[in-house]
């Protein structure tokens, strides 16, 4: 400040301040510090500050809101030129081209550029120094960008996500690790249900996942209260939810992350397999609460799905199911909704097993669960052998890859190696959890047993998504409906078929030969041990 010469007069001046990021306006005092220094300079030079303009944008940009507002102000007062005070040349721009363009725009608008850090002039020496400083400022900006990118990539290589937290996660600072992704409830639990539901085909299409997410009040949506199709696809393709990350643009290969997974890698792989295949059930936008059986019930004459509509009467509208198939005998012949859905509900009610049979089946499920847990404990050894075999395959492919000359062969080897590495990760994840169920028997089968006990309750009280689930779980195929005779014999799903066989006594005695040790057989809904045949010496084995 000592090098400045005090100046008398009442020149009008404006101050321009800029920081690179909006966070600096809330977490720092950069703008305030710049303004304080510029006001001190204005007072020293005898300028009257009439307005302050600010920006929180990159110095490589020209069209900044604050800069455009200042240029507009200067043009309005061109007859009385104003001094433009900046704290440093880098506050004007951090690029040579941007600096030259803004410098020309300020001059054209009648602005006189001044700074406490640099004396601007029109002579060749002053312009040389100004351009050199602008070049240095640009180099610093580019260098900062390169260093930031390198640090972000290095952190990603170590398994840390470096971008905005995806839906279902939030950042928390962890000692020695910096910011790490953590579950964000209740969004995380909603997302888990959606992802696992798509993996196990509870949701047949992405459209059903979309409807499920939109029905959750606590799941974030856009301004139209909608979850877009693209967002659903992004959620299903995000490996972060399986505890892994991958950034091909930065050459960061698929690797374990340092955050908690929401789903298993096996579930993620099942999702990818479904996305890369063909959905078995088409997405229908016209499925709603008015006609939950639309598309599932077939015409008994032609075998095509029945459609549905509201028909206008004298006083009100009436709902109907009908066939629109060209050439069908029943084309245009409507059936009242309450008739079709009433008969369907009778079918569901008939699937309900007796209380004794249900208790018996429940005990069988529990025994099978405990047996499966014990069996899974012994599977670790075989899975370790599979991992070793995969390691050998990868090593062989790597040797072949080194000798490969064709680009297509190289790509084929790289793809195969990537698939094997994913398979190895899945096996290692299974080995870690081997013999340790993720949930208890009660947590796992509570809803399933409630459904088996009486599927009609879920249909009666559930949403359209629950009703679609009932159709998929209770019936193995679509239902055919005739206007004269009603529903044809339905093809029910395996669990209900098994319970039905037990209930109706549709059983056969298992042959004793070859059963070792004593085996159990169903007879009239009860269990009894079947002993092996006696040998000549009177012993049994």
Q: Is pLDDT at 105 greater than 80 in this prediction?
A: yes
Who wins on pLDDT, 385 or 319? 319
Q: Is pLDDT at 23 greater than 70 in this prediction?
A: no
Looking at residue 515, its pLDDT comes to 41
Who wins on pLDDT, 120 or 534? 120
Burial of 487 (0-12, 13-18, 19+ CB in 10 A): middle
Who wins on pLDDT, 56 or 289? 56
Q: Write the pLDDT tens digit of every residue in 428-454.
A: 777 776 656 556 655 566 666 667 777
- Please state the separation of Cα 383 from the chain's center in Å: 30
> In whole angstroms, what is the distance from residue 241 CA to residue 239 CA?
5
Cα Rg, the chain, nearest whole Å? 36
Looking at residue 266, its pLDDT comes to 86
> In whole angstroms, what is the distance from residue 235 CA to residue 238 CA?
5
Looking at residue 376, its pLDDT comes to 65
Q: Is pLDDT at 195 greater than 90 in this prediction?
A: yes
Q: What domains, with CATH codes, occur in the chain?
A: 12-147 (3.40.50.1390), 169-276 (3.90.1750.20), 297-352+454-504 (no CATH)
Q: Is pLDDT at 44 greater than 50 in this prediction?
A: yes
Min mean pLDDT across 35-44, 316-325, 347-356 is at: 347-356
Average pLDDT (94-104) is 83
Average pLDDT (38-65) is 86
Looking at residue 194, its pLDDT comes to 92
- With beta carbons less than 8 A apart as the criterion, state whether 118 and 126 touch: no
3-state DSSP assignment of residue 394: helix
Who wins on pLDDT, 501 or 417? 417
What's 64's DSSP letter?
Answer: -
Q: Is pLDDT at 46 greater than 60 in this prediction?
A: yes
Strand partners, 486: 482
Average pLDDT (253-264) is 90
Who wins on pLDDT, 282 or 265? 265
Q: Is pLDDT at 539 greater than 70 in this prediction?
A: no
**Average pLDDT of the residues of the chain:** 79
Instruction: Name, of 126-140, 150-164, 346-360, the range with top average pLDDT.
Output: 150-164
- With beta carbons less than 8 A apart as the criterion, state whether 267 and 199 touch: yes
* 516 confidence band (pLDDT: 50, 70, 90): very low
Average pLDDT (216-241) is 90
Strand partners, 308: 321
* 532 confidence band (pLDDT: 50, 70, 90): very low
Region of 7 on the Ramachandran plot (φ > 0 left; ψ -120 to 50 alpha; else beta)? beta
Average pLDDT (31-41) is 89
Residue 79 CA neighbour count, 13 Å, CB half = 1
- With beta carbons less than 8 A apart as the criterion, state whether 227 and 208 touch: no
Burial of 306 (0-12, 13-18, 19+ CB in 10 A): buried
Would the pTM count as exceeding 0.85? no
Q: Write the pLDDT tens digit of every residue in 155-174.
A: 999 999 999 999 999 999 98
Average pLDDT (210-233) is 89
Looking at residue 3, its pLDDT comes to 40
- With beta carbons less than 8 A apart as the criterion, state whether 536 and 520 touch: no
* 458 confidence band (pLDDT: 50, 70, 90): confident
Looking at residue 377, its pLDDT comes to 62
Who wins on pLDDT, 262 or 516? 262
Who wins on pLDDT, 376 or 278? 376
Average pLDDT (22-48) is 78
Min mean pLDDT across 242-246, 276-280, 493-497 is at: 276-280
Q: Is pLDDT at 512 greater than 50 in this prediction?
A: no
- With beta carbons less than 8 A apart as the criterion, state whether 94 and 60 touch: yes
Residues 6+ apart with CB under 8 A from 100: 134
**Percentage of residues in the chain having pLDDT higher than 70:** 79
Q: Is pLDDT at 124 greater than 50 in this prediction?
A: yes
> In whole angstroms, what is the distance from residue 233 CA to residue 221 CA?
15
> In whole angstroms, what is the distance from residue 156 CA to residue 252 CA?
7
Residues 6+ apart with CB under 8 A from 190: 168, 213, 216, 218, 219
Min mean pLDDT across 145-149, 440-444, 467-471, 507-511 is at: 507-511
What's 118's DSSP letter?
Answer: -
């Amino acid at each position: 400040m000592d090098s400045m010469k005090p100046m008398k007069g009442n020149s009008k001046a404006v101050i321009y301040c800029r920081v690179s990021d909006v966070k600096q306006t809330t977490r720092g005092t950069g703008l305030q510090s710049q303004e304080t220094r510029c006001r001190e300079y204005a007072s020293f030079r005898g300028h009257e500050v009439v307005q302050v303009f600010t920006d929180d944008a990159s110095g490589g940009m020209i069209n900044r809101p604050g800069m455009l507002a200042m240029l507009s102000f200067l043009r309005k007062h061109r007859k009385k030129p104003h001094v433009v005070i900046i704290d440093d040349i880098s506050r004007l721009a951090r690029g040579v081209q941007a600096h030259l363009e803004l410098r020309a725009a300020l001059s054209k608008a009648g602005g006189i550029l001044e700074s406490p850090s640099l004396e601007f002039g029109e002579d060749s020496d002053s312009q040389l120094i100004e351009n050199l400083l602008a070049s240095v400022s640009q180099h610093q900006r580019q260098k900062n960008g390169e260093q930031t990118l390198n640090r972000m990539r290095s952190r990603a290589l170590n398994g840390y996500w470096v971008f905005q937290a995806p839906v279902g996660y939030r950042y928390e600072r962890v000692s020695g690790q910096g910011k790490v992704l953590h579950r964000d409830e209740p969004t995380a639990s909603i997302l888990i249900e959606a992802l696992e539901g798509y993996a196990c085909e509870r949701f047949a299409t992405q459209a059903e996942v979309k409807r499920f997410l939109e029905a959750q009040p606590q799941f974030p949506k856009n301004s139209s209260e909608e979850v877009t199709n693209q967002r659903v696809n992004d959620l299903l393709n995000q490996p972060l939810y399986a505890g892994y990350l991958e950034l091909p643009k930065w050459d960061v290969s698929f690797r374990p992350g340092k955050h908690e997974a929401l789903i298993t890698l096996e579930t993620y792989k099942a999702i990818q397999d479904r996305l890369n295949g063909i959905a078995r059930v088409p997405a229908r936008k016209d499925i709603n609460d008015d006609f939950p059986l639309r598309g599932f019930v077939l015409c008994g004459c032609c075998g095509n799905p029945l459609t549905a509509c509201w028909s206008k009467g004298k006083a009100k509208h009436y709902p109907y199911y009908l066939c629109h198939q060209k050439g069908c005998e029943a084309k245009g012949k409507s059936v009242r909704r309450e008739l079709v859905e009433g008969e369907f509900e009778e079918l569901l009610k008939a699937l309900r097993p007796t209380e004794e049979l249900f208790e018996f089946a429940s005990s069988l499920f529990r025994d099978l669960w405990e047996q499966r847990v014990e069996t899974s404990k012994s599977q670790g050894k075989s899975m370790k052998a599979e991992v070793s075999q995969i390691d050998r395959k990868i090593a062989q492919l790597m040797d072949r890859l080194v000798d490969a000359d064709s680009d297509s062969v190289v790509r084929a080897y790289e793809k195969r190696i990537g698939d094997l590495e994913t398979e190895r990760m899945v096996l290692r994840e299974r080995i870690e959890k081997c013999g340790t169920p993720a949930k208890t028997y009660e947590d796992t089968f509570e809803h399933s047993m409630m459904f088996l006990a009486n599927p009609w309750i879920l249909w009666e009280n559930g949403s359209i998504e629950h009703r679609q689930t009932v159709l998929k779980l209770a019936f193995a195929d679509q239902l055919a409906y005739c206007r004269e005779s009603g529903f044809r014999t339905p093809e029910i799903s395996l669990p209900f078929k098994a319970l039905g066989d037990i209930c109706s006594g549709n059983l056969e005695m298992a042959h004793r030969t070859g059963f070792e040790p004593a085996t159990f057989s169903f007879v009239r809904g009860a269990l009894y041990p079947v002993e092996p045949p006696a040998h000549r010496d009177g012993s049994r084995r």
